[in-house]
Structure 1
Amino acid sequence: MSNAFPHRHLLGIEGLSADDIRIILDEAEQWVEFNRRPRKQDGRLVGLTQINAFFENSTRTLFSFEIAGKRLGAQVANFHAAASSVKKGESLIDTALTLNAMRPDVLIIRHEANGAAADVADVMDCPVINAGDGRGEHPTQALLDALTLRRRFGRIEGLKIAICGDIRHSRVAGSNMRSLPLLGAEVRLVGPVALLPDSIPAGISTFTDFEEGIAGTDVVMMLRIQRERMEEALSASLGDYHSFYGLTRERLDRLAPNAAVMHPGPMNRGVEIDGDIADDPKRSLIQEQVEMGVAVRMACLDIFTRSARS
């Protein structure tokens, strides 16, 4: 692949073309097979420094970025806000300027504020990859979801995909609502009125009846109820969420034959999804999503650091 990729940063799916996404997915394919080898070491990022700056807790995203960087040979440093001067009142931009002065070659950032990644990118001399900003975007999650689907179905175009649950507060949904239609999928949003977004892209349909919304779909992407991002009154008003919007074995029968189930994690078993469905090897793609996350993040680190290596 050419060294030229038309974007310096990965701040969101917004701004990417379908071809841009396919370039990243195609690049990630090689890393899927690489990661299944007994020995997993590639030296293309040797001598480069990767900072993972996480202002929110994370398991899958933080560790997959760390593993991705180390498998490519990078020097990886993890910044945890809870143990930093952020606790003393240091601003995000001052923290970013401090990290920039250490001359990293790529910065991965997760932050609770919408637009934080873009703000940081404005003051950094290296590429910035958004690992989740508030209710905004989570682009690498959308990319790994796309790779998971492409490997399962051999295509994304024409798939009927229902994104279900707390869409209003989900940056995962924010990115998937942009990427999946761009790749030719039919996307439905399914959830209570209070958890649907105010702004919905053209061509995406919405449903408040769960069973109607998932009927005939090839993929159901369940989302966690994000109580930490809700107002207390809204959180308290949800009531018996599982009885209306939980994915149960009975409701699974409404999907298309051979339909698949996804979840970005962490899961609330027994709330948005029953545990036996999450663990069903024929239906669930949840563990495959985690595996594809490492491959996609390796591809992103490779692509966005090429200028530093040229």
Structure 2
Amino acid sequence: MMITQPALKDRSLLGLKELSRDEIESILNRAAHWEAQKEKLVPVLESHFVANMFFENSTRTRFSFEMAEKRLGAQVLNFTAAASSVEKGESIYDTVRTLESMGIDAGVIRLKPSGVLQQLAQKVNVPLVNAGDGNNEHPTQALLDLYTMRKAFGELKGLRVSIIGDILHSRVARSNLWALQKFGADVRFCAPQTMQAPELAEHAPYVGLEEAIDADVVMMLRVQLERHKHGLITSAEDYREHYGLTEERASRLKPSTIIMHPAPVNRNVEVDDAVVESAASRIFPQMANGVPIRMAVMERAMKL
């Protein structure tokens, strides 16, 4: 059966900026259903094939998707650019079309360039799920973040959420901003001048670190240490001193505040080692929440 374009569009997940609040909430609710299942394997997608196409390195996201897909009983093909024809010049489009021709029912894609995924989605006849595209969006990360916050506070409306770190290059910050504001959360950014994205200032204010840590949710972003040579930060030690969530700063958080991070964490840079493991930290529960969220997303993509 040919999939009509409207149905295909509805089943893809390219980003959260254009997704309605109701649709986001339905994914969160379905994730709660999957988290509550005692059986690890519920094969609702037993006859479906999915390709995880990672043109950019990933460990946590890829394994989380694979775990979610296999728990739903799907047949999983894992594709990494390092072991593919992409190294020989095959285009991303041709790679996706090749796998589509072989009969996949959905594709999960992570890639460096922004905007390419949206173009691909218009040219192929299988649902696509964005596992991170450039500096654009990372929708499943933001969904698991919202899910983590909702579990901690009951609802998202009125929450003050501070996102601290490299906003300029962060697709996590963007997806969280678009989604959280749909639910009435108060989002604030905190970043060194060299890591600010000026175009986002009209959507959420930039504040100093002391104001930022006065929040319900303190979300730290990974410092990409490889950017040192580009002059974005002087050193890891300097970044920790001015923008890191040190033990001293963490001790001044409100008792109800939770600490989040999309991982991997540079311990003792953006978050002190002891803070990663503290009672306020939700860093490892976030990772756990990624599986039911991605189960909900993949079921939505493939179950007709």
- Alignment CA distance shift 1:90-1:6 (3 Å): closer
Do the aligned residues in 1 keep the contact of 2:212 with 2:218 (CA within 8 Å)? no
Runs of 5+ in structure 1 lacking a partner? none
Determine which of 231, 234, 245 is the counterpart of 1:234.
231
Q: Which amino acid aligns with 1:48?
A: H
Question: Cα deviation per residue 1:146-195 (whole Å; 9 max; x = unaligned)?
Answer: 00000111111111110001111111111011111111111110010111
State the TM-score, normalizing by the size of structure 2.
0.93
Share of identical aligned residues, percent?
A: 46
Task: Say if 1:79 and 1:5 are closer, same or farther in 2 by CA, change over 3 A.
Answer: closer
Deviation above 2 Å: which 4+ runs of structure 1?
A: 230-239, 253-257
Distance 2:289 2:85 in 1: 34
- 1:113-156 deviations in Å (ceiling 9; x for gaps): 11232122122211000000011100000000000000111111
Q: Provide the C-alpha distance between the structure 2 equivalents of 1:297 and 1:86, rounded to a whole number of angstroms.
A: 26
Give 1:5 deviation, angstroms.
9.8
Q: Which of 31, 34, 39 is equivalent to 1:28?
A: 31
Letter in 2 for 1:206: Y
Per-residue CA deviations over 1:4-42 (Å, capped at 9, x if unaligned) read 8972310000111111110100010011122xx3x4111
CA RMSD of aligned residues (A): 1.7
- CA distances 1:193-248 after superposition (whole Å, capped 9, x unpaired): 111112116451112x312322x2011000011245x4833245456111000101
Partner of residue 150, structure 1 = 150
Q: Are the counterparts in 2 of residues 117 and 129 from structure 1 also a CA contact under 8 Å?
A: no
Q: Distance in 1 between matches of 2:84 and 2:49?
A: 19
Structure 2 letter corresponding to 1:211:
E
Residue number in structure 1 paired with 2:299: 302
Name the structure 1 match of 2:51: 51
Q: Which amino acid aligns with 1:233?
A: H
CA distance in 2 between partners of 1:190 and 1:5 (Å): 37
Maintained 8 Å contact 2:117/2:133: yes
Q: Is residue 5 of structure 2 the alignment partner of residue 8 of structure 1?
A: no
Query: 1:210 is matched with which residue?
Result: 209
Q: How does 1:216-295 map to 2 (within 5 A)?
A: 216-228=214-226, 230=227, 232-235=229-232, 237=234, 240-280=238-278, 282-295=279-292
The match for 1:90 is 90
Preserved CA contact (<8 Å) 1:96 1:123: no
* Contact 1:49/1:77 (8 A) holds in 2: yes
Distance in 1, matches of 2:73 and 2:205, equals 44
Check 1:101–1:231 CA distance in 2 against 1; reply closer, same or farther (3 A cut).
Answer: farther
Give the count of matched residue pairs: 297
Counterpart in the other structure of 1:189: 189
Partner SS for 1:292: helix
8 A contact 2:195–2:232 mirrored in 1 = no
Unaligned runs of 5+ in 2: 1-6
